[in-house]
Amino acid sequence: MRWQARQVQGHHGRFARASRLSRHVIIVWPLAWGYFCTTLKRQPLPEPSYTATWRHRLHWIMAAVSHLQCAFCCAYIWFIFVAINQSCEYAAQAWFWVLLEVYTLYFLLLNVIYVATPIMPAKPTRHVTTNRPLSVGNTPHVAVQQPLTSRASPHDDNNALVRVLQAVALTVVPVAGLTLVEYLLASLPNTYLIAKVGDDVEALVFTGADGQPLPEDTAPSVFATRVNSHWLLRAYRAGLIIITVVVVGLNIWLMLSWVTHAWPSRKFGIPIETLIQLPANVAYNVAGTMTDICHPNDDGTFRAVWNLALTPTPSVLNGLPTMNVGFVKNRDLVYFTDLAVGTLWLVAQDTYSMTVRPAVNQQNVTIRASFGNVSSCDDVAKLHILCLMTYTDKSLRKRLATAAPGLTLLPTLLLAKYCFQMLVVAGIVGYASLQILALWLQFDALTVTVDLTLHQNLDVWYRLRNHVFKVVTFYTEFVTTLMSIALVQLTVAISGLVIYCLSGVAPLPGYYLLILTMVGSLSTLAFLLPLAKALDIQASHEAKLHALLLQLHHERERRSKVDRLSLMACLSRLIQLVGPNDDRICFWGVELSMARLIGLTISIGSGLSVVFSRTVNHSWSEPLHEM
């Protein structure tokens, strides 16, 4: 059966609705399959209805999908979730991997739909066009088309081994289904797609002022000669490839650290310890000397004043420990009483030691005490200081030193899968985005020299634009869901960072993981740039029609009144269709444009500059599992 563009659009429409129809069914597949086998299978398939109950919807889904593929997908999802839970040290790490696995869940659902109604390549057919315009010549035009066919049901193939291998492949490599569909579409030129979204394509011929067809080829076939030849497309492609490689490489470098538990003993690639005031918990050196103030007491003790010096200078980044300080004479502790520590924070005191905590920048302190077990002030001056330091929390350096060296298995596999998936998603979104931009650039390049003040040309212009718009709408299906997932990730990351900044406390490792989430979304969101450019071209058509309308107002003397008013009425109707009623790409109800994208980028950049310029305190999250 020859593939039509409408059929592929229907296929991808089902792809886009996959998550809405069957995400719950896949996750709880054993329950859904059991209910289908025990109850629904015995009942006739319900008729299609807009007011269907959940039982009817479940019946339709279970009757259409491959049960083998669904079983593999369910097992894979739960295996990934269990692996995440068991391999992560902190709950934030588990939530991080779960958030990234949204892509996997989406691709698995698309694979279920693909197995139910796969698209397959058919043999090329030669299509001969004989009804070409006279101005082009009398030679019949021969074009090789690459149609695709659609298999109705996965159960048509009786080879169980093939079905099992297909289920395994589409489960282990979730992006395979959507990648195959886009690969098959990439084999079709834009000319073929445009020709198949409407009727009477050969009638789309622009004419000159004399009413004769222009010497160029028919409108749709011009798209084949200009595909990917525009300098702007080449510039976008080169720049976005560089951005994608840099972002993915940066993400790998950052994720191979203790933050994701992929490399528990390796530091995070970006030094932000000062930003979150992460202390190094240094070992302070405490030195002291007795001043010239020393005199004996009536009870045989000697009252003296000591100057203590701490190096390095106490600070939040160095760490503020609890210090147990005592004095030693010939390896024996000396007791002291009547202690006065001045501004030093005295936590506790016993006969032979004092427990203190230095303040920030409190490098030099003076203490006074009455020392026993000594016979003179010279003995007091010869005392040695014994200091034991303890910290409430282990420093990151100590955590890394005590962590297992090398890579851990499951987080490393998750990292490899995610990075491969990032590259494939970038390729899918990038191809669709650049195709959308290419179509609008080709359309404008085709019509820039055409006189649209002629009724025939204006009609052909609008009909051709509708053809291009239908193909663009089809490519948009590849973009919107994946872009939306990336936007959700970016929103979660930035919102979390802003909340931590406002609260003044950043839990670890959650703060680092939000940075990773933000960086990971950029490889997909970078392709908003060609999309915004394409939508600006699409939106410029309304201004073009307004300019034509204004031109007709100035041509009162050169055109007949009937022709001018008729054309003005036609332009007014087209302005309503091309302007307010034109369907464009929106995210969360906001129409995409270059101006909005630049404004969003500036806003995000300003917000992040505030976030990363403000220091916050930190706290360590509780471990996910009891040690």
424-446: pLDDT as tens digits: 999 999 999 998 998 888 888 77
pLDDT band at 391 (very low <50, low <70, confident <90, very high): very high
Q: What is the DSSP letter of 319?
A: B
Joined tokens for residue 562:
């009937």
Residue 440 lies in a domain: no
- Among the candidates 394, 415, 434, a domain finishes at 394
How far apart (Å, rounded) are the C-alpha atoms in residues 606 and 504? 19
How far apart (Å, rounded) are the C-alpha atoms in residues 48 and 506? 52
Residue 135 lies in a domain: yes
What is the 3 state secondary structure string of 459-512? HHHHHHHHHHHHHHHHHHHHHHHHHHHHHHHHHHHHHHHHHHHHHCEEEECHHH
Q: What is the mean pLDDT of residues 260-272?
A: 92
Q: What is the pLDDT of residue 224?
A: 56
Residues 6+ apart with CB under 8 A from 580: none
Q: What is the pLDDT of residue 418?
A: 92
Q: What is the pLDDT of residue 202?
A: 63
157 and 302 part of one domain: no
Asked if pLDDT for residue 238 goes beyond 70, the answer is yes
Q: What is the mean pLDDT of residues 223-248?
A: 79
148 and 291 part of one domain: no
How far apart (Å, rounded) are the C-alpha atoms in residues 501 and 618? 11
Q: What is the DSSP letter of 619?
A: E
How far apart (Å, rounded) are the C-alpha atoms in residues 542 and 553? 17
Query: What are φ and ψ of residue 148, in 5° steps?
Result: -120, 155
Between 447 and 434, residue with greater pLDDT: 434
Between 266 and 35, residue with greater pLDDT: 266
Asked if pLDDT for residue 141 goes beyond 70, the answer is no
How far apart (Å, rounded) are the C-alpha atoms in residues 374 and 371? 7
pTM of the predicted model over 0.75: yes
Residue 102 lies in a domain: yes
**Tally of CB atoms within 10 A around 31:** 12
Helix then strand then coil, in percent of the chain rounded to 5, is 55, 15, 30
Between 393 and 208, residue with greater pLDDT: 393
Q: What is the DSSP letter of 202?
A: G
22 and 144 part of one domain: yes
- Give percent of the chain with pLDDT exceeding 70: 82
- 308-364 tens-digit pLDDT: 999 999 998 999 999 999 999 888 899 998 888 888 899 999 889 999 999 999 999
Q: What is the pLDDT of residue 199?
A: 60
Joined tokens for residue 332:
């024996």
Residue 68 lies in a domain: yes
Residues 6+ apart with CB under 8 A from 506: 276, 500, 616, 617, 618, 619
- 5-55 tens-digit pLDDT: 344 444 444 444 434 545 667 777 777 777 777 787 777 877 776 677 767
Joined tokens for residue 9:
């659009």
Residue 112 lies in a domain: yes
Residue for token pair 């970016």? 490
Residue 35 lies in a domain: yes
CATH number at residue 362: 2.60.40
If you average pLDDT over every residue of the chain, what do you get? 81
Residue 555 lies in a domain: no
| Radius of gyration (C-alpha) of the chain in whole angstroms | 36
Q: Which domain holds residue 370?
A: 285-394
Asked if pLDDT for residue 94 goes beyond 90, the answer is yes
Q: 540: helix, coil or strand?
A: helix
Lowest mean pLDDT among 217-226, 406-415, 550-559: 217-226
Give the number of domains in the chain: 2
- Among the candidates 370, 394, 418, a domain finishes at 394
- Among the candidates 139, 174, 209, a domain finishes at 174
305 and 164 part of one domain: no
pLDDT band at 192 (very low <50, low <70, confident <90, very high): low
pLDDT band at 219 (very low <50, low <70, confident <90, very high): low
163 and 62 in contact (C-beta within 8 Å)?
A: no
Helix (H) or strand (E) holding 327: strand 322-329
Residue 9 lies in a domain: yes
